[in-house]
Amino acid sequence: MSSEAKTLLITGGASGIGAETARRAAAHGYKIAINYRSRDAQAKAVVADIATKGGQAIALPGDMANEADIVRLFEETERALGPVTHLVNSAGINGKRGRVDEYDAAILANLFAVNVVGLMLCCREAARRMSTQHGGKGGAIVNISSMAGTLGGRPGSSAYAASKGAVDAFTKGFAREVAAEGIRVNSLRPGMVLTEMTEGRLNDATFRASIEASIPMGRIGQSHEMADTILWLLSEQSSFITGAMLDASGGGYMI
């Protein structure tokens, strides 16, 4: 696609990898729409951060488990910033950790509603706007998956891992469908990264040491390392890459 105005919508952009991606993308000239569900103050702080550095950003509430919210999110972004040219699906939840024999149907349904169906509907809305078949100019999408999807997750995370496995399978299929219509779609699979979602558990020194011992590089990842990789996947530097799963995990797992 051309190097005209770039508008990036980030779901789950108020914290963690999404927030870091927003800040760095703004520095690269993207106009940013930060979606959030409950982190109102944090989302507005990221927007203010970007504004003080001369960038343009807005914060938009919306629940990824709600189709009407997703449609409205895209419409409001377009009204405020122009056509959505880039999308990062970063919103996600852990669900409830536990063994299969402890599953709760409602918790499972919500996990998949947010991590899978919500992400797919965001991709639907993006395709309707970006695809040359619909009069768009193309675009790039990055779906945030997880290394958990590659081997079923760490103990107690089988449901979360299954949701991320679905993201990867969908990414591959979707990428092929729209490859000739100017849209690239790739998946980033972070390993254990220090974010608001993980810091509670990583504050436990014993847990953190066991995690770091299982990573070939011997350390956990940082949000900025994920953000820089996402920006590369969004950029023309990765122009011949679509349908790829990129592992950003310090080498994966040593089992």
Distance CA 52, CA 122 (A): 29
Catalytic residues: 160
Distance CA 41, CA 14 (A): 9
Closest to 7 (Cα-Cα) out of 137, 178, 176, 168: 137
Distance CA 25, CA 8 (A): 8
